[in-house]
Amino acid sequence: MAGLNILFPTSEEIRVDGKKVTIKPVTLEHFDAYGKAAGSLIAMLGNASVNQINEYAANHARELRDILKVATDLNWRQRRGLPATTAVQIMVEVVRINAGFFGEALPSMVASLNGAMSSSD
């Protein structure tokens, strides 16, 4: 079973204001919330100005807190004290790191499915 490491992605560390923050892989139970927050973020970043980023952070503060709770090692006090722009920056990293996982996993799944379908013809 080649490629099982794709099924078990690892955490990554980033630096935020000189402090280490661990970004964890999004789990299945939080995938819906992650998808909503990530989708909104990606749509906003396409043509983002500073005002749009701040507006996104204000309108999606709860989504950001919920995802940062499960996808980082930040504690409650750290999450509550984050400036809006910093929360958005960390969320961008959560999306980048988790997108990397999907970028690796999806091609493998497609290749596996194509192989299984062609062998059953």
User: Look-up: residue for tokens 């139970």?
Assistant: 29
Tens digits of residue pLDDT in 2-60 = 555 556 678 999 998 889 999 998 887 888 888 888 888 888 887 778 888 888 888 88
Q: What is the pLDDT of residue 14?
A: 95
Beta-carbon neighbour count of residue 12 at 10 Å?
Answer: 16
- DSSP 3-state of 120: coil
Cβ neighbours of 11 (radius 10 Å)? 12
**pTM value?**
0.74
State both tokens at 74.
Answer: 């930040």
